[in-house]
Amino acid sequence: MPQWSIANETRQDVGALLIQLEWRTQSGEVLEPVGAMGTLVEPFTAGKRKDMSLNGYTAACTSLQLVARTYACRDVNAVRVPCPGPLRAQAEGGVQIDITAAAEGSMKGAVEAR
């Protein structure tokens, strides 16, 4: 089962990170579409790394692509706050990561401040 991680490499704690991730094969077939609320990582404290897996798939890592879309940070009260840095990507095992369309923005699950 393919494994992956997400990390907060900044020096700033974030209540949570919401990120829309889509898993595809290298040929473009969608294996796991973006969820309605994206992937939630909380708490997303400075230096934290969270390990996850692509459930139900046993494909070779070299045949997979992870596509990142919208992402948002929120505080402990679920109010959206600016993320402490840009989204960067690094993959091991041959998984390709596409962050070209990734942008910080509004997401379901992060209340907009008034």
Query: pLDDT class for 114, splitting at 50, 70, 90?
Result: low
Q: What is the pLDDT of residues 12-62, one digit of tens each?
A: 999 999 999 898 988 889 988 887 778 888 888 999 888 887 777 777 888
- Location of structure tokens 């993959």: 91
Which whole number is the average pLDDT over 68-72? Answer: 90
Which whole number is the average pLDDT over 85-111? Answer: 84
